[in-house]
Chains A and B, each alone.
Chain A
Amino acid sequence: EIVLTQSPATLSLSPGERATLSCRASQSISNYLAWFQQKPGQAPRLLIYDASNRATGIPARFSGSGSGTDFTLTISSLEPEDFAVYYCQQRNNWLWTFGQGTKVEIK
Chain B
Amino acid sequence: QVQLQESGPGLVKPSETLSLTCSVSGYSISGGHYWGWIRQSPGKGLEWIGSVIHTGTSYYNPSLKSRVNISMDTSKNQFSLTVTSVTAADTAVYYCARGASYWGQGTLVTVSS
A and B found bound together: yes
The chain A residues found within 8 Å of chain B, CB to CB, are: 1, 34, 36, 38, 43-46, 49, 55-56, 87, 89, 91, 94-101
Interface residues on B, range: 20 to 34
The chain B residues found within 8 Å of chain A, CB to CB, are: 34, 36, 38, 45-48, 51, 53, 59, 61-63, 95, 100-101, 103-106
Chain A's closest residue to B105 (CB) is A43
Q: Which of A34, A94, A100 contacts B51 (CB 8 A)?
A: A94
Chain A residues within 8 Å of B95, by CB: 43-44
Q: With A43-B95, A43-B103, A43-B106 as given contacts, are A98 and B48 in contact (CB-CB < 8 Å)?
A: yes
Chain B residues within 8 Å of A36, by CB: 46, 100
A-B contact pairs, 21 of them (CB 8 A): A1-B63, A36-B46, A38-B46, A43-B95, A43-B104, A44-B46, A44-B103, A45-B103, A49-B100, A89-B46, A89-B100, A94-B34, A94-B51, A94-B59, A96-B36, A96-B38, A96-B48, A98-B45, A98-B47, A101-B45, A101-B46
Chain B residues within 8 Å of A97, by CB: 48
Asked if residues B104 and A98 are in contact (CB atoms below 8 Å), the reply is: no
